[in-house]
C-alpha cells in the first residue's frame, strides 16, 4: 500500500501539482528580488500562473511532424522526472545521488532535444546554446556530487540527509579538516552557478519565451502549459537539490520543515539577485565563464576534498 | 485616459504585424507593448503567432504582403482577435490617394476592431485594445 501511495504521489495529480505550485511561489520570490532591485518589469518572458491557465485553455496549433509528438511527450516527461527527483529528496521514494543527477539531466536534456528536432530554423539556432547551458549545469554538478559523496562517504539521498542531521553541514563537519571544508565550499559555489543555468534564469539559461526564435515559438495550447509548469517545477527543485547537498537537516518537526523552506528561499533570493544583475550580459560569454568558472571551482573543490579526506 | 485595467485585458498576448509605411503607427504599437506608462493595457508582446490572443495590424496592406500575413494569422489559435490600427491600414489617410493598389486591411481579412489615426495616440490604441478584449 505504501508503494502504491508513493506511485500515486509521483505520477498523479498531487505530486506534480505540489512542485508546480511551489514553483509558482519560487518564481514570485525571484521576481520580487528583481522588482526590489530594479523596479517593476513588464517582462513578456515571465511565466506566471495566469499565463499557464491561459495556455492550457488555448487551442493547440498543429506543429506537424515529429515536433508535434515531441511537444506533447517532452514536457510531461520533464515534469515526471522532476517530480521523481522531488520524491527522492522529500523521502517518498528511495534514490541515490546518481539517480537524482540523471533525473535532472534527463529533464533538462529534453529541452535540448526539443530544440534540435524543431523544423523551425530559428528555434534550431537555440539548440547549441541550449546544449551549452545544459553542460554548464551537468559538468559542475557531476563534480559537486562526487565531492559531497567523497566528503560524507554516503551515496543515497536519505543517508546524506541523515549524515548532515548527525554531523552538520559538509562545510564545517569534522571529517576531513579545513582543507576538505574549503573544497566543499568551492563545490557549493560551483553548484550555485550551475543552478543558474538549469533554472533558465539569465544569463546562462534562456527563458522559454525569450524571442525571437524562442524555444516555445512552435508550441501552443496545453503542451505550452506543460512546458511552463515544468519550468516552474525546475525552479523549485534545483535549489532544493543545493539545499539537500549542503544544508540539509532533520525534518521531523514542523519548525524544521520551515527551516528547509527558508533555506530554499535563501537560495532563490540569491538566484534572483544573479538574474537581475546579469540581465545585460552576453549569453555566450557568460556561458563560457559559467562552464569554465563553475567547472573549475567544482574540480578544485573535488581535489581539495579528496586531499582533506585522505589526510 | 482611464487607468482602469480590464480584467480580461490582463495577460493578453499580442502579436504585432507591421505591414510597412512610414512606421509611425508601428512605433506607437511597439511603445504600448514595450514601454511603461500610466494606463498602459496589461498586455504582453509574444514572438510567435501561436501564442497570440490578439493581432495588431499596422501599416499598408499590399498584394505582396497578403500571403505572408495570411500564413501568420492562420497559425493563431482559435479565438484570436484582430485589431487594425492606423489610417493606412484602414485604407485612408495621407498616402491613400497617392499609392496605387493600397487597400484597407479589413477588405481582405476579418477584423474585430479598428483604431483610426495618423498616427493614433497611445490612449486611443489602449482603448481599442481594451474594447476588443472585453
Does residue B26 carry a pLDDT above 80?
A: yes
CA-to-CA dists, residue B6 to A46, A255, B52, B112, B127, angstroms: 20, 42, 18, 18, 10
The complex's ipTM works out to 0.75
- Whether B2 has a pLDDT exceeding 60, the answer reads no
Burial class (CB in 10 A: 0-12, 13-18, 19+), B101: exposed
Q: Which of A81, A106, A72, A69 is nearest to A16 (CA)?
A: A81
Statement: residue B60 has pLDDT above 60? yes
This prediction's pTM? 0.85
**Residue in A40, A213, A220 closest to B51 by CB:** A220
Task: Name every chain A residue with its beta carbon within 8 A of the beta carbon of B36.
Answer: 40, 42
A126, A106, A108, A129: which is closest to A118 by C-alpha?
Answer: A126
SS3 at position B117: coil
Give B73-103 pLDDT, tens digit per residue.
Answer: 999 998 899 999 999 888 887 777 666 666 7
User: Residue B47 and residue A218: Cβ atoms within 8 Å?
Assistant: no
Segments of chain A with pLDDT less than 50: none
* pLDDT value at residue A246: 94
pLDDT score of B101: 64
CB atoms within 10 A of CB A300: 18
User: A54 vs B76: CB contact, 8 Å cut-off?
Assistant: no
C-alpha cell at A109: 536534456
Q: Which residues pair with B57 in a beta bridge?
A: B17, B84
pLDDT at site A240? 95
> For an interface test with A, which of B51, B52, B75 has the most A Cβ atoms less than 10 Å from its Cβ?
B51
- pLDDT for residue A142: 95
CA–CA dist B10, B33 (Å, integer): 13
Residue B124 CA to residue B111 CA, distance in Å, equals 17
Contact list in A for residue B81 (CB cut-off 8 A) is none
The answer to whether A146 and A160 have CB atoms below 8 angstroms apart is no
Kindly report, residue by residue over A190-244, the tens digit of the pLDDT.
999 889 888 877 655 567 776 667 788 888 889 999 999 999 999 999 999 999 9
Answer whether A170's CB lies under 8 Å from A127's CB: no
End-to-end Cα distance, chain B:
17
Q: How many Cβ pairs closer than 8 A exist between chain A and B?
A: 54
Amino acid at each position: 500500500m505504501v508503494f502504491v501511495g508513493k506511485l500515486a504521489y509521483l505520477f498523479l495529480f498531487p505530486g506534480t501539482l505540489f512542485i508546480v505550485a511551489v514553483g509558482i511561489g519560487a518564481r514570485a520570490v525571484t521576481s520580487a528580488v528583481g522588482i526590489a532591485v530594479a523596479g517593476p518589469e513588464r517582462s513578456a518572458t515571465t511565466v506566471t500562473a495566469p499565463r499557464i491557465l491561459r495556455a492550457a485553455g488555448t487551442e493547440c496549433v498543429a506543429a506537424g511532424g515529429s515536433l508535434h509528438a515531441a511537444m506533447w511527450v517532452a514536457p510531461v516527461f520533464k515534469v515526471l522526472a522532476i517530480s521523481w527527483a522531488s520524491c527522492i529528496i522529500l523521502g517518498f521514494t528511495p534514490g541515490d545521488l546518481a539517480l537524482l543527477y540523471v533525473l535532472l539531466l534527463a529533464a533538462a536534456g529534453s529541452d535540448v532535444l526539443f530544440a534540435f528536432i524543431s523544423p523551425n530554423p530559428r528555434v534550431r539556432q537555440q539548440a547549441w546554446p541550449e546544449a551549452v547551458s545544459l553542460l554548464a549545469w551537468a559538468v559542475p554538478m557531476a563534480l559537486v556530487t562526487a565531492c559531497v559523496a567523497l566528503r560524507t562517504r554516503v551515496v543515497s539521498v536519505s543517508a546524506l540527509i541523515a549524515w548532515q542531521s548527525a554531523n552538520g553541514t559538509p562545510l564545517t563537519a569534522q571529517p576531513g579538516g579545513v582543507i576538505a571544508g574549503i573544497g566543499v565550499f568551492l563545490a557549493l559555489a560551483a553548484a550555485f552557478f550551475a543552478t543558474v543555468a538549469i533554472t533558465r534564469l539569465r544569463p546562462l539559461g534562456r527563458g522559454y519565451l525569450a524571442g525571437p526564435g524562442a524555444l516555445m515559438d512552435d508550441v501552443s495550447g496545453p503542451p505550452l502549459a506543460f512546458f511552463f509548469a515544468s519550468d516552474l517545477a525546475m525552479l523549485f527543485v534545483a535549489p532544493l537539490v543545493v539545499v539537500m547537498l549542503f544544508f540539509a537537516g532533520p525534518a521531523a518537526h514542523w519548525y524544521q520543515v520551515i527551516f528547509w523552506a527558508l533555506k530554499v528561499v535563501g537560495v532563490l533570493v540569491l538566484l534572483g539577485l544573479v538574474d537581475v544583475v546579469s540581465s545585460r550580459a552576453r549569453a555566450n560569454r557568460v556561458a563560457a565563464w559559467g562552464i569554465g568558472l563553475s567547472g573549475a571551482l567544482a574540480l578544485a573543490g573535488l581535489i581539495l576534498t579528496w586531499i582533506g579526506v585522505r589526510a | 485616459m482611464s487607468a482602469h485595467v480590464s480584467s480580461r485585458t490582463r495577460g493578453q498576448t499580442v502579436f504585432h504585424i507591421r505591414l510597412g509605411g512610414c512606421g509611425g503607427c508601428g512605433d506607437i504599437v511597439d511603445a504600448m507593448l514595450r514601454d511603461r506608462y500610466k494606463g498602459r493595457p496589461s498586455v504582453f508582446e509574444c514572438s510567435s503567432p501561436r501564442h497570440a490572443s490578439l493581432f495588431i495590424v499596422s501599416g499598408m496592406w499590399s498584394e505582396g504582403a497578403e500571403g505572408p500575413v495570411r500564413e501568420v494569422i492562420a497559425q493563431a489559435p482559435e479565438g484570436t482577435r484582430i485589431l487594425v490600427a492606423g489610417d493606412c491600414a484602414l485604407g485612408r489617410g495621407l498616402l491613400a490617394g497617392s499609392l496605387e493598389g493600397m487597400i484597407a486591411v479589413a477588405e481582405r481579412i476579418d477584423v474585430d476592431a479598428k483604431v483610426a489615426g495618423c498616427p493614433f495616440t497611445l490612449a486611443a490604441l489602449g482603448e481599442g485594445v481594451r474594447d476588443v478584449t472585453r
